[in-house]
Amino acid sequence: MVAYSLCDFGAGDYEKKELEAYREVHFPLLMERLKNSKPVSPVELRKLGRCPLTPEEAALVLAALGSKPETYIYLAGSHIYGGSSRMQPFTSLYPNLVTKETLLTSSELAPFKNFSSQLAALDFIACATSDVFAMTDSGSQLSSLVSGFRTYYGDGHAPTLRPNKKRLAAILSENRTIGWNTFEDRVRKMIEEGQRVQLRGSGRSIYRQPRCPECMCRS
């Protein structure tokens, strides 16, 4: 997800070369498309809201919404870019972080090990049934399916946090001048607006936004 985003995550030239090498192997079609398109800088991508949230950004959003340090947080996926050191700013604030690898024993996880779709299904079950689901990416298949499931079956009681990453980037760009109370207020307003469920627009994923005449039941 990090490599595909084309974004910059602050580790300089080493990171740039590492992610480019990963794209060459795993995303050849993306690399071919990039050769024939006008380049967009990582800084501009972040301003446009096209970058996944970093662990630091995710922690700040949760803190601004009032999540307590003792909150248990399930992290979908197991391959975190940068590993545990990259997650340190997050886990220092929210130490009760769990994954399917820490919740299940080796023998319980063994039948799913060689099946990526089944491992993703475990993440789906945990995210779909959680008290709150927070999206940190730009709309991956998993987050789209989970948010759509929660909209369709949640009956308004399954909150999904959808940070507007373009607005969040603008807020975070003021980090040297903005006070915490102002930051809290602006993040809360951003999330409240993102939780409003609207009719699916033309071309939008029916999985992510199932609220549409051809999908929702009528009385």
Residue 88 sits in a domain whose CATH number is 3.40.50
Question: What residues make up the domain containing 91?
Answer: 52-194
Answer yes or no: is 205 within a domain: no
* Nearest of 162, 140, 137 to residue 151 by alpha carbon: 162
Q: What is the number of other CB atoms lying within 10 angstroms of the CB of residue 42? A: 16
Answer yes or no: is 206 within a domain: no
Q: Is the pLDDT of residue 118 over 60?
A: yes
Domains in the chain, number: 2
Q: Return d(Cα 153, Cα 147) in angstroms, integer.
A: 10
Sign of CA dihedral 11, 12, 16, 17: negative
Answer yes or no: is 113 within a domain: yes
* Nearest of 159, 156, 209, 169 to residue 51 by alpha carbon: 169
pTM: 0.83
* Nearest of 147, 135, 160, 154 to residue 206 by alpha carbon: 147
pLDDT tens digits for range 54-96: 999 999 999 999 999 999 999 998 677 777 888 899 999 999 9
